[in-house]
Amino acid sequence: KSIPKAELHLHLEGSVTPAIFGALSRKYDTDYAVLNEEKIQAQLFNYRDFYDFLNTYRIVCEHLREPLDYLMVFDWLESYFAEQNIRYAEIIYTPSILWRAGKDGREVLVALLKQSNKLNDQGITIRWILDCVRQFGAQWAWRTAELAAEFSKQGVVAIGLGGDEKSLSMGEYQEVFAWVRDHQLHAHVHAGEISDAQQVWEALQVLGANRIGHGIQAAWDPNLTDYLCQHAIGLDVCLTSNARTGAWPTISDNPFDLLHRKGIPVTLNTDDPGLFQVSLNEEFQKAAV
């Protein structure tokens, strides 16, 4: 609990807690406004599988409509960072969710950057990854990449590719990620979470990924684990997330330790601390058992 930590895989939208969701649902008078925190947890923040989780994620994002909503989530994260002794964090934000709803994703980013830069005085460094949703298509990824390049000197360090691994192919995004690398931004790609190890290979070979979100399925491919080790490609491992979505149902069997012992750079992360109701301290404790 006392050691300083970094968290590298943390979705801002996934940091919405039942209490925050309840406040947002009352603010916008949605169908969920009548539910208390316990019912939100039981009815919405409880997942049968990965796609049920994605559906909850979609519903949560529909309640994030303006900068004040996102800043409410970030305020909660400030307390979370202090409580967990997190000194460095890379937060994943997805502007295309707002754009597709006809709202201003750039305005939200400006507000978030302004707020996150204030944490430097408290000894907490925040950097941002702007995520593309794989099933949305390349047109939104281009817009995300351009926004990332615009703010690359102000705290944005990478663009990512998240969402449903089994939807569009990596090749749909090859030109976007080549452009990103040309603009000195890093590539952070979700791969090998619910799909197979081939997805990790494609993230590396097609998109030039510098780091892999999840990547646990790489454990099934010895050639891939050797490559990850030799090229120091990091994997963001999220134990509770994998268990809650069914990506790797049993934490005790999660290949985190195997990947670590092979010499692959691995980190522990919460992924979505609000939606999974988990902290980074708890992830460390689970990994140590």
Encoded tokens for 56:
């909850």
Of 23, 17, 87, the closest CA to residue 56 belongs to 17
In contact, 213 and 191? CB cutoff 8 Å: yes
Q: Which residues are annotated as catalytic?
A: 193
CA distances from 196 to 201, 215, 248 (A): 10, 9, 12
Burial of 287 (0-12, 13-18, 19+ CB in 10 A): middle
Identify the residue whose tokens are 């208390």: 36
Residues 6 or more apart in contact with residue 57 via CB below 8 angstroms: 13, 14, 272, 275
